[in-house]
Structure 1
């Protein structure tokens, strides 16, 4: 279990992961634009699909406000490609199969799942500025309604 929690003002931990098309994407590739980096447990599960589709449905307004969206899970790139295609997702999905990046961001650890303590992905969202410094860190977010709450926090719900 990790007790690590990243806070606003902290530089985002470096990473290089494969995207849904098998291309390498590094944190440095995200510099120059604000980024919503969200971690979710598994592609094509009900909660994760709801959350991803909410981001998809809000993408134009998020992009209009200068944000890009990037999702991260432990799924392999081929599964991410299927997820992206199946649900018409229009943002990058990254694969972290050994959960090293999850651990670096403090989103891998003990959590309650149906009343039992399990180890796994703690659904979380980070907002990074143009220099990849964390401006918002949200841990243990609920999938349903998360994007609307995030938009409100970012002052975008108009």
Structure 2
């Protein structure tokens, strides 16, 4: 698993931003720290709560110089619908091929539901050198991150 002090695995992936573009992590960190908030799936209760709470913290993250991205396996089209439904104002990264989840070693299954290879709920702060400055990974998909801790890590990155 990717840990604090490791070089963050780079990626280029579809970006749901009201349209569909793409984002490359190594280019995104040129603008300052990047917060990657991995979540299992759009339109689910805990994921919606988490993304809405992050949206509420968006101004504070921006004041820290950080850019926030949500990351899930959902297609960018589903993510755009989720953004609209939840009123999110930040962009979501589609990892439909699960390449990012695999690179960060975050795969989990909801076997009872027949859903496999989703992202564990987790947060990484990547500094402008591309190094992981903060990591939080939960094995319990019902647990949300400590948002203030994430904000402090973004300020320190």
- Please give the TM-score of this superposition, normalised by the length of structure 2: 0.83
Q: Deviations over 1:42-65 (max 9, x none)?
A: 011101000000000010011111
1:50 aligns with 2:46: no
User: Which residues in structure 2 correspond to 1:135-146 (within 5 Å)?
Assistant: 135-140=133-138, 143-144=143-144, 146=146
CA contact (8 A) 2:133 2:153 kept: no
| Residue 109 of structure 1, CA deviation | 3.6
Is residue 111–residue 122 contact of structure 1 (8 Å, CA) maintained in 2? no
Unaligned runs of 5+ in 2: none
What's the CA shift for 1:147?
A: 1.9
Question: Does the CA contact (< 8 Å) of 1:6 and 1:106 recur in 2?
Answer: yes
Distance in 2 of aligned mates of 1:90 and 1:143: 23
Aligned to 1:88: 87
User: Does residue 13 of structure 2 align to residue 28 of structure 1?
Assistant: no
The answer as to 2:71 corresponding to 1:72 is yes
Aligned-residue CA RMSD in angstroms?
Answer: 2.4
Counterparts of 2:133 and 2:44 in 1: how far apart (Å)? Answer: 29
Is contact 1:48-1:143 (8 Å) kept? no
For the 8 Å contact 2:98–2:117, the answer to whether it is kept is: no
1:89-128 correspondence to structure 2 within 5 Å: 89-109=88-108, 120-128=118-126
1:16 aligns with 2:15: no
d(CA) in 1 for partners of 2:23, 2:40: 20
Shift in alpha-carbon separation, 1:24–1:70, aligned structure 2, 3 A: same
Q: Is the 8 A contact 1:50 1:143 kept in 2?
A: no
Q: TM-score, normalised by structure 1?
A: 0.83
- How many residue pairs end up in the alignment? 148
- CA–CA separation in structure 1 for the residues paired with 2:154 and 2:35: 14
